Chain A
Amino acid sequence: GAVVSQHPSWVICKSGTSVKIECRSLDFQATTMFWYRQFPKQSLMLMATSNEGSKATYEQGVEKDKFLINHASLTLSTLTVTSAHPEDSSFYICSANLNGFNGYTFGSGTRLTVV
């Protein structure tokens, strides 16, 4: 149980275009999901907390208009990187909390390359 599916696993896009990444909890409902960004050899950096049915909470320094988050259902959160630039190239990972005690389950991640 507690499987999180993230799609796509990798994507290459041109500068100026937008890219959508999906995060689904397959066998449980997640009122809260989390989006992380990870640069090579660095730890995961929390970008935002996605709340079902309400606005996401963004961490300091993360542009909410650039990284649009939608959590329209209890099993799906999406992250859209708008007007992507090469510096947005990174590894993006989502996670969902089955419950606060049991901890987090992570998606398999998405490698975004902006050319």
Chain B
Amino acid sequence: KNQVEQSPQSLIILEGKNCTLQCNYTVSPFSNLRWYKQDTERGPVSLTIMTFSENTKSNGRYTATLDADTKQSSLHITASQLSDSASHICVVSPGGSYIPTFGRGTSLIVHP
């Protein structure tokens, strides 16, 4: 069964600090892995997308890593801002199909 596990479930940090969120998956075959940010009662917004051959990808303060061998990904957020408070969701898509598997998300809370 395809699964995506995220950790931690929730994380509280101070504004300006860095943090790293983890994603482990068992989805196979693998096509791509995406990180989304979802504010409460809003649709998810894409942060990064990575394919099998990519090890790291940055988008502003977001840096995602991917180890396709160990089936692990991380999302590193630098210099956190209050607006980063949201659920951050890891989504993995299998090759040959467009239906992805969603993680439950890490709830990030940034305090001033």
Contact = CB atoms under 8 A, between A and B. Distances in A.
Interface of A: 4, 6, 32, 34, 41-44, 46, 49, 91, 93, 95, 97, 100-109, 111
B31 A100 contact: yes
Given A100-B98, A109-B43, 5 more contacts: A6-B43, A43-B105, A101-B51, A106-B44, A108-B42
Given A43-B104, A97-B98, A103 B43 contact: no
Interface of B: 31-32, 34, 36, 41-46, 49, 51, 89, 91, 93, 98-100, 102-105, 107
A59 to B, nearest CB: 9
Contacts, number: 49
Say what secondary structure dominates the interface of chain A.
strand
A103 B103 contact: no
25 contacts: A6-B43, A32-B98, A42-B104, A43-B102, A43-B103, A43-B104, A43-B105, A44-B89, A44-B102, A91-B41, A93-B43, A93-B44, A95-B43, A100-B31, A101-B32, A102-B49, A103-B32, A103-B49, A103-B91, A103-B93, A104-B91, A105-B46, A106-B43, A106-B44, A109-B43
